[in-house]
Chain A
């Protein structure tokens, strides 16, 4: 039995005028400590799948099993979620922001608070506790958001294009930081992205998604050498370009099959 198993998930959105199937028969397994990416063009339902796994959205069909148990809603809090932007609350200080999860979950103790403060220091934001988000740069804010997510000690981390709003240099640095932080806690993580390079550099397994309706086209395993390297070093490894070509061709062929509508 794998750590997280997605079983025959289908999801259909309804609007007044039509119904649109966003996902069809998604079946996948994720092992503990694995870093998995969902890669695909926009509109392939990858973010929808993330919301379903996080328990924020109820799928039309299928179920999610975590350690063999059905995941009903986000209430048990085992899922951490990082969005495209930091979404730190501008009227709260950094400290109030990163302790928010623990406060809501009623797990705020001097012990847990100290742990989070240490995490903030490890991630290079020492001394920003009493500052407000607007005083921080984009990269710093996204790091603070990572601390907020990790503070609640989730079993799985969902990363919904968390680097897409950053400039390239910050993005590369943050990729390394997130990658090594997650590895050091041996967290299981799912990354949603449309950036092929990012998916290859960061993950162990990549699921390629196709559109109309969203489905998994192919699953690509990243080579052992690349897995061991940090994202930045992985980008310079010779396996990287080969894998990039493979994934690129796969996505290209997808576009040809699907007629534009």
Chain B
């Protein structure tokens, strides 16, 4: 805003004010939903209009969480699950990208493997759980494999499509300099696909949570998935709901981190 008439400046200020007002309004309703939802839940549970044994109550969940934080056990469970999830989705994205690179490098292989990719993509990967456990043993490696397997195929398909979609004229520029296929991949195909890779990262965060939690259902002696299945077995639904709450919060944080990373990388 340089040297504009007072009238324009006035309406500009008004415009900024309206924007701020709208933002406050949105935030207000978001908070309202939050408060109303938990108050009604608490009320229904106290009045025993819903079964408190099954649906627990926000107060009970918070007090249990407080207790678990004090004895520190929640940190080891949450840490274990976070570690598995990160490893799972990094591995899934990395293997998926490598597989996509392989398909790009050998167009013949991509034609041959196409129907198999479609089948593997359509198959629900969590159904592989029992096989993974038998092969890798009931423990850590099975859970991570689960977190990775669930995202590999879809990553491969999305990134391979992005590799194929790179403007052939970029490759033409490189070829006029006598570039090899490797140079073409390194200088044009891979960097042009970075946005696609980052956005699959976002999808894979969510997918890996599914894989890891299911994995923990099946084998684990610790972790948030284990807490859920344990709470279910001893009929402690406060524990189940508390674990669910923690998962929701951590998954959101991870998603936001990847989102932040995306904005930073795309900007530069």
A interface, CB within 8 angstroms of B: 54, 56, 73-77, 79-81, 83, 85, 87, 89, 91, 100-101, 104-105, 148, 152
Report if A83-B173 is in contact (Cβ < 8 Å); known contacts: A89-B191, A91-B191. Answer: yes
Please measure, in the bound complex, the distance between the C-alpha atom of A111 and the C-alpha atom of B194, giving whole angstroms. 33
In the complex, B6 has a CB within 8 A of chain A: no
Contact A76 B173 (CB under 8 A): no
* Smallest Cβ-Cβ distance to B176: which chain A residue: A81
Please measure, in the bound complex, the distance between the C-alpha atom of A76 and the C-alpha atom of B187, giving whole angstroms. 20
6 pairs across A/B with beta carbons < 8 Å? Answer: A81-B176, A87-B169, A89-B188, A104-B177, A104-B178, A105-B177
* Smallest Cβ-Cβ distance to A148: which chain B residue: B173
* Smallest Cβ-Cβ distance to A105: which chain B residue: B177
In the complex, B174 has a CB within 8 A of chain A: yes
In the complex, B83 has a CB within 8 A of chain A: no
Min CB–CB distance A64 → chain B (angstroms): 15
Contact B191 A74 (CB under 8 A): no
Contact with A along B163-177 (1 / 0, CB 8 A): 000010110111111
Contact B173 A81 (CB under 8 A): yes
Please measure, in the bound complex, the distance between the C-alpha atom of A79 and the C-alpha atom of B172, giving whole angstroms. 12
User: With A81-B172, A91-B191, A101-B177 given, can you name 15 additional A-B contacts, CB distance below 8 Å?
Assistant: A54-B176, A56-B176, A75-B178, A77-B177, A81-B173, A83-B172, A85-B169, A87-B169, A89-B170, A89-B188, A89-B191, A91-B192, A100-B174, A100-B177, A148-B173
In the complex, B183 has a CB within 8 A of chain A: yes
Please measure, in the bound complex, the distance between the C-alpha atom of A77 and the C-alpha atom of B176, giving whole angstroms. 7
Contact A104 B173 (CB under 8 A): no
Contact B187 A100 (CB under 8 A): yes
Contact B175 A74 (CB under 8 A): yes
B interface, CB within 8 angstroms of A: 167, 169-170, 172-179, 183, 187-188, 191-192, 194
Which residues from chain B contact A152 at a C-beta distance below 8 Å? 177
Min CB–CB distance B197 → chain A (angstroms): 13
Which residues from chain A contact B174 at a C-beta distance below 8 Å? 100, 104
* Smallest Cβ-Cβ distance to B174: which chain A residue: A104
Which 3 pairs show the lowest CB-CB distances between chains A and B?
Answer: A81-B176, A104-B177, A101-B177
Contact B183 A104 (CB under 8 A): yes
Contact A80 B170 (CB under 8 A): no
Min CB–CB distance A38 → chain B (angstroms): 18
Contact B178 A105 (CB under 8 A): yes
Report if A74-B178 is in contact (Cβ < 8 Å); known contacts: A56-B172, A83-B173. Answer: yes
Please measure, in the bound complex, the distance between the C-alpha atom of A75 and the C-alpha atom of B172, giving whole angstroms. 13
Which residues from chain A contact B167 at a C-beta distance below 8 Å? 87
Please measure, in the bound complex, the distance between the C-alpha atom of A58 and the C-alpha atom of B249, giving whole angstroms. 59
Contact A87 B177 (CB under 8 A): no
Contact B187 A80 (CB under 8 A): no
Please measure, in the bound complex, the distance between the C-alpha atom of A77 and the C-alpha atom of B191, giving whole angstroms. 24
Min CB–CB distance B40 → chain A (angstroms): 51
Report if A56-B170 is in contact (Cβ < 8 Å); known contacts: A89-B191, A91-B191, A104-B183. Answer: no
Contact A74 B170 (CB under 8 A): no
Please measure, in the bound complex, the distance between the C-alpha atom of A80 and the C-alpha atom of B176, giving whole angstroms. 7
Min CB–CB distance A66 → chain B (angstroms): 15
Please measure, in the bound complex, the distance between the C-alpha atom of A87 and the C-alpha atom of B192, giving whole angstroms. 12
* Smallest Cβ-Cβ distance to A77: which chain B residue: B178
* Smallest Cβ-Cβ distance to B268: which chain A residue: A91
Please measure, in the bound complex, the distance between the C-alpha atom of A148 and the C-alpha atom of B194, giving whole angstroms. 24
Min CB–CB distance A56 → chain B (angstroms): 6
Min CB–CB distance B66 → chain A (angstroms): 49
- Give the interface centre of B169, B173, B187 by most chain A CB atoms within 10 Å: B173
Which residues from chain B contact A77 at a C-beta distance below 8 Å? 176-178
Which residues from chain B contact A83 at a C-beta distance below 8 Å? 169, 172-173
